[in-house]
Every structure is written in structure tokens, then in C-alpha cells.
Amino acid sequence: MEANILDNLEVVYQKPETLTDTPFHYCPGCGHGVAHRVIMEVVEELGIQDQTIGVAPVGCSVFAYHYMNVDMQEAAHGRASAAATGIKRVLPDKYVFSYQGDGDLAAIGTAETIHTVNRGENILMVFVNNAIYGMTGGQMAPTSLCGQVTSTSPYGREATQIGFPLKITELIAQLPGAYFVARHAVHTPNAVRKLKKALKSAFEYQKLNKGTCFIEIVSNCPSGWKMNPLDSQKWIEENMFPMYPLGDIKVPGKSTTPSTENN
């Protein structure tokens, strides 16, 4: 019966060919999988598979190069944007992107992140913010929320002791080298659609040579947060979005107005 039904139907969605057949090693419900897929959908739709070079981080997404079927380079922890800088400068006609978690991009790699954007390197930086170090067992990240319980903040993050959550995306948006900066999410179908649109613009902007595009993806880490995937989606809405509101932060042609308040 199934074969019969399928005969009369046309495919309206399928996994992009720019992803390899290797199954993701990510935990059930982890946003990294969606982020990988959407980036690769954009690469497929723009027809730039053989012109795209990605740089993978250290973190749960360290094996991004097993999944994304484009040329990829692994970078030392935190240094993805520095590696991407070198690649783009040597091969300026390629579409170059880096992919990093919050521990990679906003802790050990803070200097590289800020200076890459400050130099206005003509690359796309994708920043997956799940407010925790997933790979190493759920330690506190710079982006962990106040009060958030992690394995290294068992009583909840206490700002007076260990500082406030770092809104690095708003921070770098103020740099003149930043061309397009936005924050998106992958927790609902609509959020995924919006992310895809932003990623597409970001790849297209690379042709203009105007500076760094930076897209934060607010994501989940069900394992690190010790929640099931559905609860982690709710937790994102209730706790992450007040601190990390979604939307454009710096749009080409408009003056910078980084949102510093919660909304």
C-alpha cells in the first residue's frame, strides 16, 4: 500500500546531498544536527558545494567534517576563525565558514573571535550556543545563564563569583568589521526556516567582500542540561531567549543597535 501512495506523491523535503551518509553521533535531540543540515541545505541550494570550505571546532561538533560533504579543515580548540582567515586569504574566491560551540568560540577562542571580526575577515562564522560544554561533560560555559546548574557550577552560576553570561554576539556586532550579525534558533520549524534564510544571505554576502558575517544559533544540549529533548526545547524558550533574544543584531546598510536588554 505504501508504495502505491508514494507513486502519486512528489518529494517536498529530503536530506540534502551535501550531507554525507554518515549518521550523526550527536545525542538524541541535539541541535548540532539541525544546524549542520541547514548549513548544508543552503550550500546545496546555492550550488556552491565545490567552492565551500568549512572549519570544524573542538567540541561535540569536532567531527563536522564527517558529515558536511564539502572541503573541511579541523582547527585547534578555539582557533577556527583564525584557520578560516588563512584559508580565505589564500583562496579568496571560496566560500569559507567556521563552525564553533560556545566553549570554543567564546572561552578559549575569544581572542581569535574578536580579532577575526575586528579585521573584518570575509568569512561566515557560525556560533552554536548551547550554554554549556557538551563534549567534556557539561561544564559551565561563558554563555551559561545565571543560576544555571552545571557540573562546575553545582549550586548554579553565581555572577558575583564567576561573572555574567557573555553576550559575545552583541559584543562583536559593535566592531566595524562585522557586516551581518544575527541570532537564530533551531527549536521550531519556523525558527529553522528563519535560520536558513539568514545563512543564505550570509553566504551570498561573502561575494561582496564587505566583512564578517556572524550567526549565533541558540541551541540545546539535552545531555549536558540533563533533560529530555522536549524539555530542553521548553528550557530554551523560557531561559535562553530572555538572555539571548532572536533576530538581526547588525544588518547591512543599517546602523548598529546591538540589543543589550532582554526582550
Partner 1 sequence: MIKGTVLIATDICKGCELCVAACPQHCLTLSKQINTKGYRFAELKNEECTGCVNCALVCPDAAITVYRQAKIKKAV
Ligand X SMILES: Cc1ncc(C[n+]2csc(CCOP(=O)(O)OP(=O)(O)O)c2C)c(N)n1
Binding residues (CB under 6 A) for ligand SF4: these are 26-27, 30, 32, 60, 130, 134-135, 221-224
Residue from the set 34, 39, 75, 141 that interacts with partner 1 by CB under 8 A: 34
d(CA 120, CA 109): 17
Which residue's C-beta sits nearest to ligand SF4?
A: 134
Over the window 75 to 114, marking each residue x when it contacts ligand X by CB under 6 A and - when it does not, the resulting string is --x-----------------------xxxx---x------
Q: Which of 190, 188, 202 is nearest to 248 (CA)?
A: 202
- Integer CA distances (angstroms), 17 to 12, 89, 94, 200, in order: 14, 28, 19, 17
* Per CB under 6 A, 215 contacts ligand X: no
Per-residue x/- mask for ligand X, residues 31 to 70, rule CB under 6 A? Answer: ---------------------------xxxx---------
Q: Tell me the C-alpha distance between 34 and 243, whole Å.
A: 22
Given a contact cutoff of 8 angstroms between Cβ atoms, the answer to whether 215 and 126 are in contact is yes
CA 90 to chain centre: 24
Q: What's the gap between Cα 214 and its chain centre?
A: 9
Query: Which of ligand SF4, partner 1, ligand X, none is residue 223 near (CB under 5 to 8 Å by kind)?
Result: ligand SF4
Residues found in the chain? 263
CA distances from 23 to 15, 17, 63, 107, 214 (A): 12, 13, 11, 29, 27
State the minimum distance, in angstroms, from the CB of residue 125 to ligand SF4. 18
Binding flag, residue 134, ligand X (CB under 6 A): yes
Residue given cell 568560540 in the structure block: 105
Among ligand X, partner 1, ligand SF4, none, partner that 19 touches (CB below 5 to 8 angstroms by kind): partner 1
Q: 58 is in the binding site of which of ligand X, partner 1, ligand SF4, none (Cβ under 5 to 8 A by kind)?
A: ligand X
Contact flag: residue 1 with partner 1 (CB under 8 A): no
212 binds ligand X (CB under 6 A): no
Interface with partner 1 includes 28 (CB under 8 A)? yes
Cα–Cα distance list, 28 to 13, 122, 134, 216 (Å): 21, 34, 13, 21
Residue 103: which of 73, 72, 69, 79 has the closest Cα? 79
* 34 binds, options partner 1, ligand X, ligand SF4, none, Cβ within 5 to 8 A by partner type: partner 1
Enumerate binding residues for partner 1 (CB under 8 A): 2, 5-6, 8-16, 19, 23-24, 26-34, 37, 186-189, 192-193, 222, 228-230, 233
